[in-house]
Amino acid sequence: MGAWGTGIFDNDTAADFAGAVAESGGVPALEAALDRALAAGDVYLEAPQAEEALAAAEIVARTSQPSAGPDPYTASVDAWIAANHPQVGAALRDKARRAIARVLTEPSELLEVWMESGQYEAWAHAVRDVSSRP
């Protein structure tokens, strides 16, 4: 059974993405995930692309301000950040915020799933937390 919860990394797609970034993807993988979400424009944004974009945005945010506490799904990313001190500039941070906004805008499969789940507010709070960090 896969992971599923209201946190950014509480799903298999995001957790796998975090591991791939830490293993070899680095900053280019973050930018690519954000670009895929933004490229959807007004076209339907599929949940896996949205989950990766949110994970990328959270990793970008973690480079300057970690989230509220340790997360077993992000141990590899946290170690990667500590070891590599990735350079994440203002342009990538802006792209992360725009990708978050896109995920939260129709047509977005992930948005639809959470709106129908009964746990939308908890999920949206986690997403807004990422966007509020520098």
What local confidence, expressed as pLDDT, does residue 84 receive? Answer: 94
What local confidence, expressed as pLDDT, does residue 72 receive? Answer: 80
Whole-angstrom distance, CA of residue 19 vs CA of residue 100:
20
What local confidence, expressed as pLDDT, does residue 128 receive? Answer: 94
Model confidence pLDDT, tens digit, residues 9-52: 999 999 999 999 999 989 999 999 999 999 999 999 999 999 99
Whole-angstrom distance, CA of residue 2 vs CA of residue 14:
11
Whole-angstrom distance, CA of residue 115 vs CA of residue 50:
15
Model confidence pLDDT, tens digit, residues 39-93: 999 999 999 999 999 999 999 999 987 765 667 888 889 999 999 999 899 999 9
What local confidence, expressed as pLDDT, does residue 65 receive? Answer: 79
Whether the Cβ atoms of residue 120 and residue 114 lie closer than 8 Å to each other: yes
| Cα pseudo-dihedral 78, 59, 52, 45, rounded to 10 | 160
Measured in degrees and rounded to the nearest 5, phi and psi for residue 45 equal: -90, 115
| Cα pseudo-dihedral 131, 89, 47, 7, rounded to 10 | -50
What local confidence, expressed as pLDDT, does residue 70 receive? Answer: 67
- Concatenated DSSP letters of 53-111: HHHHHHHHHHTTS--SS--GGGHHHHHHHHHH-----HHHHHHHHHHHHHHTSSSBHHH
What local confidence, expressed as pLDDT, does residue 63 receive? Answer: 92
Whole-angstrom distance, CA of residue 109 vs CA of residue 116:
11
